[in-house]
Structure formats: C-alpha cells, structure tokens
Amino acid sequence: MYKVLIVDDEKMIRMGIKKVIRWEELGIGEVFTAASAGEALGILKEHRPEIMITDICMSEMSGLELIEAAKELQPKLRVLVLTGYDSFEYARQGLRLKVQDFFLKPADENSLSQAIREQAAYLKREEAEAKSTLLVQRTRGIAEQTRLETYMRDLIHRRGESGKILEKLHDYYRPDRISGFQVVLVFPALCMDNQLSEKNFREISMKNICIRIVDAEEGITFPDDDGTIVIVYFLKEEEDSSLERSRELADILQDEFDSRPKMVIGSVVEKFENLYISYHDARHLSDTEKEGIQDILQLLGDKNKNHIFQNIYGELKDIMCGNIGNTEYVLKAFCTFKRAAESYNLSRQAVRRLCFELASSIYFAYLGEVGETEDGKLDALSKSLRSASREEACEVTEVFLAQMLGSQEENVHEIVAKAKYYISEHLAENLTVSNIAVSLYITPNYFSRLFKRVTKEGCNEYIVRKRIEKAKSLLDTTSLKVGEIAMMVGYRDTNYFSLAFKKHTGKSPTKYRDEIQNAGDVL
C-alpha cells in the first residue's frame, strides 16, 4: 500500500478529494493533506509519500516551486497537478519537472482515480523490477553479495562508520517501508576458514537456499563472523514475529537435507541501526539455552527481555565509569544507551530512573578520580528529570554529562604538559605513573588514560623514550662511563640499561658511542 499527499490551500478542495476517492481500491493505504507548500515539505520529509497531488496557485510558494523542492527531497516522487488555468506555460514547466499528469479544476473523479491507479501500478512495477534485480545480485552477483554481507556483518558486530553502512543499506532496501526487523540464527555454522569440505559445502548450500527463499522480498541472509547463518526478516505492520516464516524455512531445509536445523529468534527492533540488539539477544539465548530441547528458540516475554537489557545497561555503565578520562567515548556509550532504551521501549519512569542512576555513577567516578566538581549538580539534574519525557530525560542527562566531563578538557593539555615537565626534572629518580599522578593530585588510572589519549603514547613508553634520548646525548657529548650514564637516566642496573638501550637503538651503549666518535673523527 502506498501513501498520497494532497496539497491545496482551499480546504474544501483538498478534503473533497480525500473523501471522494476510494483509496484502498487504488492501492493507497494512507492519505495526507497540506494547506501550504511548507506543510507539504514537512510531510514529505517525515512520511515520504510516493504520490503527490498539488494545486499550482498557492500563496506561500507556487505548486511548481513546491514540485521542484519536493523532487530534491524525493527524486522518484510521482506528481499529479491540479490547476484552474489552461496554460501552455504551466504545461511546459510541468514537463521540465517530469510531472506525471495535469487536471483542470474541478477534476473529474473517475479521471483522477484512474491517474492515481496508474501511478500505483507504476510504483508496483518498479518495486517488482527492483526486487528481481536484487535477487539476481544476491544469488548471482558474487561481488555485490560479498559487499552486502560485509555491510551486514559490520552492522551487527558494530564495526566501521555506522552512517556510511546505513547509507549503503538504504541503497539496497527501503527501510522506511518496513515496520520492524528480527534476526534469526540458523545452526550449524558455516566454516569460515575458506577450506571447502563436504560439511562446508552442505552449509553453503543451506545458505544459498535461505537466500533464494528469503532475500527476494522477505529479508537478508548472510553469515556472521563465526560462520553462523543470520537471517534478518522484514516485518510488515500486521506481523509481530518471524516465527511462522522460520518454521516454514526449517521444513524446507529439513526436506532438502534430511535434518532439521536449529533456529534461534532474536527480539523485534524498529530500525536497521538497532539490528545488533536483535542479533545479540539471539546469541545470548542460544548460549544460555540447553541443547537439543527445541529446534526453534525465541525470547520468552518481557521478563527475559528486561534481563537482557539489564545486562546491556550494566555493561554500558561499566564502560562509562571506567573511561572518565575520555569524554567522547563516554558520550558515545551514552548514545548506545539511548538507542537501547528506545529499542526495548522502556517506560518514561524507567528511563528517568536509569538516567539518574547513570549520571550519579559517572559523577562519583569523576569525583573519585579528579577530586573536584560543583556542588548541587545532581540535585539540579534530579529536578529536571522529575517531569521529563523519555526523550527529554536522555537529552537532559546527555547535557549534564557533556558539561561535567567537558569542563575537564580545558585542563587536560595543561595536566599532560605538567607531567612531561615533571618527568624531565626527575629522570634519574624512580618514575612511575603512580608517583607522577600523585604529584598532579589525580588518580593513576585517570592520569594514564589522559596521557595516552593526548600523546598517543603510554606514559611508561614516554619515560623510557626520554631516558634513552638523554642517554644518547650523554654518550655523544661526555666521556662518562656507561654505568654512570645509566644512573643519571634512572637505571640502577647497568645490564638492564644496556638491554633497554639496544632495544630502542639496535646497538649497545658502547657500540653507539664508538660509532658516533668514529664518525666525528672522519669528519
């Protein structure tokens, strides 16, 4: 079923068209109306109707200007134009904008209905051709299939840039026409070592059968990193599960291979980007369920779903509290929490409670490592959360975290600069991350993460590098013995110093000095 948008600044006309046409008979499921071009563009962005019926003469923006703007948003939009003027200029501009048909007001009901029917039929043919092309690509186009499978693996394993991956997947499919997604794992797994054995050939054949049955229009089939066959089913509005389709597929595979595969069904998610949740739900279920009891496993109600979410939430909280020195990483983890809360459809009260719990945990972790913050921040957050919606609660908490953690960024480079100066002044002493952190009045873990993030080098690595650099300078410019130089750069054991020096330079201290001095003699 397709969507239609009617645009006319005269209410009587737009509502008249909406009421008089028998939309369902024409293959139209939803009809939107707009009184202005601005309102129409908003509907196009949000609901993406495939067909637009618009007047030419409107006050805010002409119908032709609207069509041009709409085509930029939705190049494949089918457009029917209504006008009270029989003008060649309108027709000429309409042809330029690739308008499908013109109607003089008042439009004849039967003619308009026929034009809408033709547009719906055209869209249906386009979809059928696209599905046919996709099936050919997936079953015969090895390179194209490999690329798609790579995108899907990166998505469920959360690798790479999600924006680019989603953009590629939008080119293959139209997720705006799908109400939900659900992952099904099919066992046994494929062998991923590229060694073609009889067993592996059987599993590849199983995957190809899944592709032929599922991928034409019902979903996507691909192997994950472990070789398990993953099916992502597209759920339509009237369906709430892929259980029946999984049973039908299992019957076909049993007939083909004389054995029934085990299948595990994950949770339903609303967006492509949340597929990793459905995938990990299925993985969790397959890992915790006893072997051989059922051939198709699925999540059992909200209790199990809540248990899985609590595991995800606990992991994210640990990540955020353990990375106080990396503001960007903490905020990324919080964005994952927001997506999970949306995907699991948590209540407003639950989101508010979890947001405050997260913020409090991070606040006290920050206080423990940095040792200073403003009083009253948690009280202010608590007041802001009391009447907040789910989205507002997440937004308020994200701002709280960004402000609290962001205030440290101004001091980060100053802290690292002080640490480098301290190291340079105490190279001969027993330098450790702990005693450097104590001198800066911060915790060792916090200091270690800050130093690595800013310098891209561990603090201990930096100390060793500076000691070797100073040792090289002393060997080059003085006649001090190697043991004396070792003491001056913080090494109490001359043999250990020699090993460290050779590891970094490829030469022993004595050989290094000889080569430098011989080079000087030659010059």
In sequence order, which residues have a C-beta less than 8 Å from that of residue 380 and are 6 or more positions away? none
> 78: which 2 tokens?
């089918």
Residue 85: pLDDT band (50, 70, 90) is low
How far is residue 461's CA from residue 455's CA, in Å, rounded to a whole number? 11
Q: Is the pLDDT of residue 66 over 60?
A: yes
Least confident of 130-139, 153-162, 204-213: 130-139
Q: Which residue has the tokens 């606040």?
A: 363
- Torsion angle of alpha carbons 90, 96, 100, 102, nearest 10°? 10
How far is residue 252's CA from residue 238's CA, in Å, rounded to a whole number? 24
Are 336 and 274 within 8 A, CB to CB?
A: no
In sequence order, which residues have a C-beta less than 8 Å from that of residue 64 and are 6 or more positions away? 56, 90, 93, 94, 97
Q: What angle is formed at CA 142 by the lines to CA 140 and CA 147, rounded to 5 degrees?
A: 130
Integer angstrom CA distances of residue 9 from 46, 79, 102 = 20, 17, 18
Residue 52: pLDDT band (50, 70, 90) is very high
Are 158 and 276 within 8 A, CB to CB?
A: yes
pLDDT digit string, tens, across residues 273-326: 889 989 988 888 887 765 554 677 766 554 556 667 788 888 889 888 888 777
> 113: which 2 tokens?
């209905």
- Radius of gyration for the alpha carbons in the chain, expressed in angstroms and rounded: 33
> 489: which 2 tokens?
């750069």
Q: Choose the most confident range, by mean pLDDT, from 199-203, 255-259, 292-296, 337-341.
A: 337-341
Fill in the amino acid letter for 130: A
Q: Where are the alpha helices (DSSP H) in 373-432?
A: 377-385, 390-406, 409-425
Are 5 and 117 within 8 A, CB to CB?
A: no
- What letter does residue 100 receive in the DSSP assignment? -
Q: Residue 34 pairs with which residues in a beta bridge?
A: 7
> 315: which 2 tokens?
């992991």
How far is residue 343's CA from residue 331's CA, in Å, rounded to a whole number? 18
Q: What angle is formed at CA 383 by the lines to CA 377 and CA 389, rounded to 5 degrees?
A: 120
Q: Looking at residues 42-65, what average pLDDT do you find? A: 84
Q: Is the pLDDT of residue 152 over 50?
A: yes
Are 230 and 246 within 8 A, CB to CB?
A: no
311-315 contacts, C-beta under 8 A, 24 or more apart: 311/284, 312/277, 312/280, 312/340, 313/337, 313/340, 313/354
Q: What is the largest CA-CA distance in the chain?
A: 105
How far is residue 437's CA from residue 418's CA, in Å, rounded to a whole number? 10
What pLDDT is attached to residue 467? 92
Residue 375: pLDDT band (50, 70, 90) is low
Residue 141: pLDDT band (50, 70, 90) is low
CB burial of residue 373 (10 Å; 0-12, 13-18, 19+): middle
Distance of CA 394 to the CA centre of its chain: 18
What pLDDT is attached to residue 349? 78
Are 415 and 450 within 8 A, CB to CB?
A: yes
B/e letters for 477-504, b = 16+ CB within 10 Å, e = fewer, are eeeeebeebbebbbbeebeebbebbeee
Are 396 and 437 within 8 A, CB to CB?
A: no
Residue 374: pLDDT band (50, 70, 90) is low
How far is residue 113's CA from residue 94's CA, in Å, rounded to a whole number? 20
> 249: which 2 tokens?
């597929």
> 227: which 2 tokens?
């070789």
Are 51 and 80 within 8 A, CB to CB?
A: yes
Residue scoring higher pLDDT (190 or 72): 72
pLDDT digit string, tens, across residues 409-455: 556 677 788 888 889 888 888 888 888 888 887 778 778 877 887 78
Are 359 and 397 within 8 A, CB to CB?
A: yes
How far is residue 378's CA from residue 400's CA, in Å, rounded to a whole number? 9
Q: Which residue has the tokens 């969507």?
A: 3
Give one word for 211, left, alpha or beta, with left for phi > 0 and alpha for psi -120 to 50.
Answer: alpha
Q: Residue 229 pairs with which residues in a beta bridge?
A: 186, 223
How far is residue 81's CA from residue 99's CA, in Å, rounded to a whole number? 7
* CA 505, 511, 515, 517 torsion-angle sign: positive
Residue whose C-alpha is closest to residue 99's, from 73, 125, 85, 119: 119
Compute the mean pLDDT over every residue in the chain, rounded to the nearest whole number. 80
Q: Looking at residues 145-172, what average pLDDT do you find? A: 82
| pTM score above 0.75 | no
How far is residue 406's CA from residue 373's CA, in Å, rounded to a whole number? 12
How far is residue 487's CA from residue 491's CA, in Å, rounded to a whole number? 5
